[in-house]
Amino acid sequence: MPYTIIAESCTGCSACEKRCPTGAISGESKKVYFIEPALCIDCGACGVICPDEAIMNNHGAITHVLKRAERPIAVVHPDNCNGCGVCVDVCPFDCISPSPENRANYLGKVQVNEKTCVGCMLCEEVCGWDGIYIMQTADKKTFLQALGYEAEEAA
């Protein structure tokens, strides 16, 4: 079941339409917006920014606005990521890219642009090496420290 907009709660602010990576959300300003089920990838990008709490997720629960630290993001596991690029190809937000230190003979790692990542989970789902995880932004530092890394050096 894709995400849906609750017509009675939607004020037509357009925040969800601007955030949707697939163009699944449309409507007119100050009127009820609509999510095209065939285009919705269930990424949740719309739900975490809807000020009216007018979006129902794919499990039938109403979404809530989340502060940046509470929003999900992709975090690269420094030991498991092999830089294959499958996550780069699947990301609808183009927020994952090869790390600058990658070389022709060494795939290396990928990096995540946290400003554009919405934690849609597509990268985590396609990674066969447990090289990328979705978690709350606030949990990244603890996760990396548990692996023996500083948040800055592993980014």
Q: What is the pTM of this model?
A: 0.83
pLDDT band per the 50, 70, 90 thresholds, residue 153: low
**What is the structure's pLDDT at 28?**
97
The closest of 75, 77, 72 to 147, measured between CA atoms, is 77
Architecture of domain 68-154: 2-Layer Sandwich (3.30)
From start to end of 12-123, where are the E strands?
A: 25-26, 34-35, 55-56, 72-76, 96-98, 110-112
In CATH terms, the fold of domain 1-65 is Alpha-Beta Plaits (3.30.70)
The residue ranges of every structural domain in the chain are 1-65, 68-154
Q: Residue 34 and residue 26: Cα distance in Å, rounded?
A: 6
Which pLDDT tens digit goes with each residue over 20-34?
Answer: 999 999 999 999 999
Which pLDDT tens digit goes with each residue over 94-134?
Answer: 999 998 887 776 678 999 999 999 999 999 999 999 999 99
- Which H or E element spans position 134? strand 132-136
* The two domains 1-65 and 68-154 share their CATH topology (first three levels equal): yes
User: Residue type for 118, please?
Assistant: V
